[in-house]
A and B are shown apart, each in its own frame.
Chain A
């Protein structure tokens, strides 16, 4: 079994020092890898990334992350990313990363994603340049996600996002803001390329459990939702291989 620990929306600030490390020091007993679903910092400042780096450094499991909207707020995402990578966190934006574990390989395709909404009530690439740019960000993220998942030939494949791919995990949020919380295009990418699990954050008032229309489990791992430092999901590599074989 592959054991994946996951959390999002840590919103680490200067005042977060020491708040996460005690729980994270136990993570290696529970999990084989730690995936971080964005909004790692409060304001996207390098010094906040530095605080987080100190919280996670040396916890004893491979770490893979995507950034969230908070991490982009101060226009220094490159420095945030750099600081996290110095601490051993692999930060993905359209790329993939493979974690080689003793019994199996875990592939992660990571994109931040963006909004736009869900089928029947979603934004279209039409009209004002600002509107078209908005929708284009999501379209580009979805195609990067699809391409990333297509490239992965690992035993288990996970899509790591910040924005939500389905409505299910938004339950609890005001429906008016769904278009700011995610896009069906991300689920379409997942269902087209196939994968074993989708992780996202961003929707603090949402719920943990959901599923794509194609049947892929979705988990909202925002800390205010899971109410733990991290959730742990176990996946059977044999089951994953069987499924990707049957859908091919």
Chain B
């Protein structure tokens, strides 16, 4: 597949991260500056965080991949909110 031209590259990776079975996260942010691609947002597991780097490297072998996604630790509730 021919690589998408410059202005379309960020979105092509964003679409790939949303649909690739290894990741499937719809709400990751992608930005490319110079020879670096930065990806941020949250993913549920360390495996999926590693897959973000994998998918980005496959798509852009020439770019440096800066994977800033985080896997939040999810403590049990920690307090309640009184709604009514």
Interface residues, chain A, CB within 8 Å of chain B?
A: 1, 3, 5, 10-13, 15-16, 19-20, 22-24, 26-27, 30-31, 42-43, 70, 73, 173, 196-197, 204-205, 217, 219, 223-224, 227-236, 239-240, 243
Contacts and interface: CB of A to CB of B under 8 A. Distances in A.
Contact of A239 (B27, B46, B84): B84
A22 B42 CA distance: 21
Contact of B77 (A11, A229, A236): A229
Interface stretch (B4-12, B31-39, B56-64, B68-76): B68-76
Contacts of B75: 23, 228-229
Main SS at interface, chain A: mixed
B21 A43 contact: yes
A197 B82 CA distance: 11
18 contacts: A1-B82, A12-B44, A13-B44, A15-B46, A23-B76, A30-B80, A42-B44, A43-B21, A205-B27, A217-B83, A217-B84, A223-B44, A223-B74, A228-B74, A230-B76, A234-B80, A236-B84, A239-B84
A232 B77 contact: yes
Most chain B C-beta atoms within 10 Å of own C-beta, residue among A1, A11, A230, A240: A11
Given A3-B80, A204-B41, A235-B84, A70 B48 contact: no
A22 B73 CA distance: 12
Nearest to A26: B76
B44 A16 contact: yes
In the complex, the 9 A-B pairs of residues with the closest C-beta atoms, listed nearest first: A15-B47, A232-B80, A23-B76, A224-B42, A239-B84, A229-B74, A204-B27, A26-B76, A15-B45
A30 B79 CA distance: 9
Contact of A224 (B46, B72, B81, B83): B72
Contacts of B25: 11
B13 to A, nearest CB: 16
Given A204-B41, A228-B77, A232-B77, A196 B84 contact: yes
A219 B80 CA distance: 13
A5 to B, nearest CB: 7
Given A30-B80, A223-B44, 9 more contacts: A13-B47, A15-B45, A15-B48, A16-B45, A224-B42, A227-B72, A231-B77, A232-B79, A235-B84
Contacts of B45: 13, 15-16, 19
B24 A196 contact: no
B51 to A, nearest CB: 9
Contacts of A232: 77, 79-81
Nearest to B28: A204
A234 B76 contact: no
Contacts of B48: 13, 15
A16 B47 CA distance: 9
A229 B79 CA distance: 12
Nearest to B45: A15
A232 B83 CA distance: 10
Most chain A C-beta atoms within 10 Å of own C-beta, residue among B26, B47, B74, B80: B74
